[in-house]
Every structure is written in C-alpha cells, then in structure tokens.
Amino acid sequence: MKSPGILIISHGSRESSWVELVDEAVNQLPLQDTIPVAVSFLELVDGRLIQDGINSLEEQGVTDIVVIPLFVSSGSTHVDEIAYALGVKETADCDTDLAPFHIQANIHYGVPMDDDTDVAQMIWDKVRNQSVEHEREVILLVGHGSIYDQFRQRWERGISSLAAKVREISDVAAVDYALLNPDSVKERMAYWQSEQGYEVIVFPLFLSEGYFTQKVIPRRLDGFEYRYSGEALLPHPLLTHWIGRQIYAMLQMIK
C-alpha cells in the first residue's frame, strides 16, 4: 500500500527571515495533519537539507515522495540538478556538484512556478499600489536568468508568458521582462523610459527578498528613474494555494 509524503524544496538562505517566509507559506497548507510534509533547502540551512527531508519522510514510513521544486523558473539550473540527484533523470543538463541522494521511496517530481496564473496574480497584487497613471506605466519583471543557452531559453519562455498574463489582469500599458544573466536590464529600461517615455515599475521575480533584490537589481538600475519596492513574491497567500494545487494534482496521479 502506498504511503505518500510531501517534500518541498527551495534554495535556502543564511537569512532566517527568508527561511521563515517559506515555512509560513507551507504551514498554511490544509493537509499538515493528514500527510507527512518536509521543507528542505538546497543549501545554507544546516539540518534541513534535501537529504534531511528525505530521511525524515522515510522514517515516517513514506513510500512515495511528491517533490515540489519551489523555484520561480524551469530555467533554474538548480531545478535540473535536483531532478538528477533525486534520480528523476539520468544526467544533468548542466555541471553540478550535487551527488545523488540516498532514497528508498519512489520520487514524483513536480514543476516550478514559471507562468502559473497564481504567480501572475501575486505580481499584480504586489505592484498595483505603485501604479498611479496606468496608461503611461510599464511593469518590468526582472529575473535571474542563466549563462547557459538552454536554461536561458527556458527562462525566457516562462517569464515572457508570465509577463503576458500579468498584462491581461493589470491595467498598465505593457508588461515586459529583463534578465540579470545575460544582463538585459539597462537595455529594457532604456527602451521603455528613454525611447518610449513610460514610467517603469520594476518587480523582482524572486521567491523572497535577499541579496539580489536588495543589492544586485538596484545596482543594475543605477542612473534610471523607476518605482521599486524591492518586495518579492513572499509573503502572499496565493503561494500556499499554488503549492496546494501542485500537491493535489500529483497525489491524484499516484493513487
């Protein structure tokens, strides 16, 4: 008889507040008392790494682990290397130091957030209070991106579709995107602000606030006028909703 458990994996941070936001989002799931749930991190959080989560679930008798990669894009090399280390794929599409995990249970690997409608709504909820004159404003989503071509292409597919969905539910003139790797932030800012004359609202497409939202993105925007709260996706109740939807869909597949 199958006994499922849930393993939610995100990157991790040395900042305890970053970890706490992830924990809070997961703790709001309505299934905590009915199925084992573990929250693990790729790095930086001692005692709560991916192998720790696997061990915890298997010690509770879990035979099938539903893994939710809590990352914003399929273009993240971390999503790919974790899949490899979990045995979901034979080889990674990028160089990785991540060794295969020790696993007895069956692994069912989900998908990252990409262009989900919940993510689009989260973004609009976060930036709408910065919008003043809608017809003269552009929202610029800024994502991490990748130096690897195939991962960059995955990033671009997801974030361009996400931008279109944000545009559908917002009332601004346009929604565009830029990546940090390779750097297209200044080029997109110059296009919308200098060439087109729009006000630009910048949103960092990151799970939670940290080094990239507080330091890297502002440096890339140096010399431009823009609106930017620095607030990332978390906290937001729709993130819990997104996690719950992924879990429910995958549990139906392994019954």
For the residues 85-107, what does the mean pLDDT come to? 91
Angle between the N-to-C axes of helices 237-254 and 16-27, in degrees from 0 to 180, rounded to the nearest 10: 60
Stretch 73-96: mean pLDDT, rounded?
92
**DSSP reduced 3-state for 23:** helix
Res 131: pLDDT: 86
Domains in the chain (CATH in brackets) are 4-72+77-111+236-254 (3.40.50.1400), 117-220 (3.40.50)
What pLDDT score was predicted for residue 45?
Answer: 80
Residues 122 and 236: beta-carbon distance below 8 Å:
yes
pLDDT at residue 32 is higher than 70: no
Q: Of the candidates 145, 153, 245, which has an alpha carbon nearest to the alpha carbon of residue 185?
A: 145
Taking the C-alpha atoms of residue 90 and residue 36, their distance in angstroms, rounded to an integer, is 28
Q: Give me the chain's average pLDDT, please.
A: 93
Is the pTM higher than 0.95?
Answer: no
Encode pLDDT of 181-222 as tens digits: 999 999 999 999 989 999 999 999 999 998 899 999 999 999
What confidence score (pLDDT) does residue 66 get? Answer: 97
Q: Residue 184: CB partners within 8 Å, gap ≥ 6? A: 145, 178
Question: What is the pLDDT confidence band of residue 15, given thresholds at 50, 70 and 90?
Answer: confident
- pLDDT of 161: 98
End-to-end CA distance of the chain: give it in Å, rounded: 10
